[in-house]
Structure 1
Amino acid sequence: MAPAERTDVERSLGRRMRGAAGLAALAGLAWVARDVPAALGGRLTGARAERAARSPQFRDGTFHNQAGTRTMVADPGRNLLWELIFGKQKRRPSTAVPLLRPSAPQADATDELTIVWYGHASALIEIEGRRVLLDPVWSERCSPSGLVGPRRLHEPPVRLDELPPLDAILISHDHYDHLDMATVRALLVGQSAPFLVPLGVGAHLDRWGVPADRIIELDWAESHRVAGLEITATAAQHFSGRGLRRDGTLWSSWVVAGARRKVFYTGDSGYFDGYAAIGAEHGPFDVTLMQIGAYDRAWPSIHMFPEEAVNAHLDLRGGLFIPVHWATFNLALHDWAEPVNRLWAEAKARDVRLAVPRPGERVVVDDPPAVDGWWQAVA
């Protein structure tokens, strides 16, 4: 989540209300807000805290990037709040975002590699007959509250209970647009897959009732085998935090490797040298899922601009590029369609294979659909 979009729940709940209608509204707020403390997540204690303290990424009580970064940089003469309220950017689509029902996979899909993008950073990797879900967020808002915070610009293309049986659920970091309490709790019913998360994120899952045997916490460069897949947490350049405390949990990108196919997912990250190192150690990749949206020159170190995402894809030795982290939530000040327009231009200029699926569309990596600019009519 971009720093400009962080939710101030306490301020919203503390607004004065008058009269009987105000009291009724306040009662409603209290009822809806009762889960807010839980949604903020857990704290690192005991063995989990001790393990975090041993990480090369952990010092002085918090996790750190490989290079010094700032979440916000000074931009003299610019008023972000004024721009947020009065800016002329077209930050929402003009018409409904088209949603598709995922097509059925081939009957014998053990060698097939497909991606289903559900919106924002939520996606399904179908690799060699196994299924890995990325950063699932199905709630109406990416926020600890159902009353305030960025609201969805389109519905999920499928219900959570319509997902196929999963083999693993990966979480890149603990920001609300990547880790959602209601979605996690829903996935405890009808699914038995483990949650693979960066160090410390298991504390949130603990608080939300996820059994300990379904929580796998990894540091960068650590791997875990599940259902015949080698899943590795790799470096990213970002930050974390759900409440007032920052960087108490780790953030990561992910490598999902089968016997023959490989997938890379950025999570959230600025552009950094780590992509080339990941490409050298784990690449080449058949497909990369790359963050392209919610960027701004006020936070250039922690989210990539679309052109930087193309650089990262090439550093990673990627094959097909599929953009994520755009279209679903309004998290920055750019136009709604700007990220994918810039990406398309850069991909053509640098001869990068690109697929831009509609939410719910299944992309066969070896035979992707041609880019047709569908979002331009929507914007």
Structure 2
Amino acid sequence: MLNSSSICRCNIKRYPQSAQFDGKRFNNKIPRQQLGLTEFAKLFWDFAFNKPKNTAPESALPLIKLDAQQLAAAADNSVFRLGHSSLLFKMQGKYWLTDPVFTQRASPFKWFGPKRFQPAPIALEDLPPIEGVILSHDHYDHLDYHTILQLKDRVRYFLTPLGVGDLLISWGVASEKITQLDWWESKNIGGIHFVATPSQHFSGRGMFDSNKRLWCSWSIISDDFRLFYGGDSGYFDGFKQIGNKFGPFDMAFLENGAYDRRWADIHMLPQDTIKAFIDLNAKWLFPIHNAAFDLAFHAWNDPLNQIVTLAQEQQINVSMPQLGQGVQFLQPQQEKKWW
């Protein structure tokens, strides 16, 4: 049975005001590499029948279970790892979620597709009231229909790139809660400046909506901190531009997982993540996009092992909390290896 969100039946809008929109689709500054038919067929075959056995852990990962009481007692200016790219921020005493996915599969299907290694460290119903949800793009491992349906009446703000907000409206999210932004546009909420910054990726949830919605990263800035949330991206010169404009960042949450040389232009390899971090002029690296779903051919813990080794070589501070663990992003620390 198809998930209700598998095929978008909403009217696709046009965004003539956006420099990224060509009248039909959104575009990267540098066009994506395109696989030929033979390469694509081989990739599909490998995903279906030729996956290594170590792309998922053999047993449950270490996890700290969370509840609203623990979160209330946690220090301000903290962030909690929920798995993949889902993070829970506590800023100014209020809670913000990035790309929340709480369902069992990152897929349009309930019975098929990438399955979570284990449940999130906190159930949706146990979350405290959420001030805002920050979305980077519309892919299933970053935007989940059922999660949004359960959150929509408990969230004050939804911040999205262009087009993603229109999709949320079609799902029943109140339009007055939604702010959708083009690259370099911003929204100030309670003294926190949320800037939709560029990324090099793509969008689409079905056969007919490819690149009909924009993708972005986020620079989150206040008088007390500067944070960068990368969403999904290949390595590109935009990181240096963002770093020059909004850095230095106290912490950068950067993609490190689900990579392969065949799609390195839209998902960074570990060495690219290090280059992006340096370009951003950040103090601490917090690797995301890992430890939740099997989305590539590398061992599930390869991103974690590689990024630690590369960071040590470059004398980069890395924060690697386990699932459910909180970190104060102005006073982080090097955590012990848990994987």
Specify the TM-score bucket, using the shorter chain as the normaliser: over 0.9
For 1:1-379, what aligned pairs fall within 5 Å after superposition? Answer: 29=1, 33=2, 35-36=3-4, 38-45=5-12, 49-50=13-14, 52-70=15-33, 72=35, 79-84=42-47, 85-88=49-52, 90-102=54-66, 104=70, 109=75, 112-189=76-153, 191-245=154-208, 246-375=210-339
**Greater mean alpha carbon deviation, residues 307-316 or residues 121-130:** 121-130
AA at the equivalent of 1:209: G
TM-score w.r.t. length of structure 1:
0.83
Deviations 1:69-116 (A, max 9, x none): 22547997993344332343510101111111348468695xx42111
**Greater mean alpha carbon deviation, residues 120-129 or residues 303-312:** 120-129
Counterpart Cα distance in 1 of 2:181 and 2:297: 33
State the structure with more CA Rg.
1
Q: Is this contact kept in 2: 1:137–1:178, CA < 8 A? A: yes
Gaps (5+ residues) in structure 1?
1-28
Gaps (5+ residues) in structure 2?
none
Counterpart Cα distance in 2 of 1:300 and 1:54: 30
AA at the equivalent of 2:257: G
**Greater mean alpha carbon deviation, residues 302-311 or residues 85-94:** 85-94
AA at the equivalent of 1:237: Q
Cα RMSD, aligned residues only: 2.2
Change in Cα spacing, 1:106 to 1:64, as seen in structure 2 (3 Å) is: same
SS for the counterpart of 2:254 is: strand
Aligned length: 335
Q: Is this contact kept in 2: 1:93–1:336, CA < 8 A? A: yes
Give 4+ residue runs of structure 1 displaced > 6 Å after superposition: 73-78
Identity level (%)? 36
Deviations 1:200-229 (A, max 9, x none): 112221121100101111000000111221
Counterpart Cα distance in 2 of 1:309 and 1:229: 26
Change in Cα spacing, 1:351 to 1:202, as seen in structure 2 (3 Å) is: same
Change in Cα spacing, 1:161 to 1:308, as seen in structure 2 (3 Å) is: same
Counterpart Cα distance in 2 of 1:128 and 1:72: 46
Deviation of 1:143 after TM superposition, in Å, equals 1.2
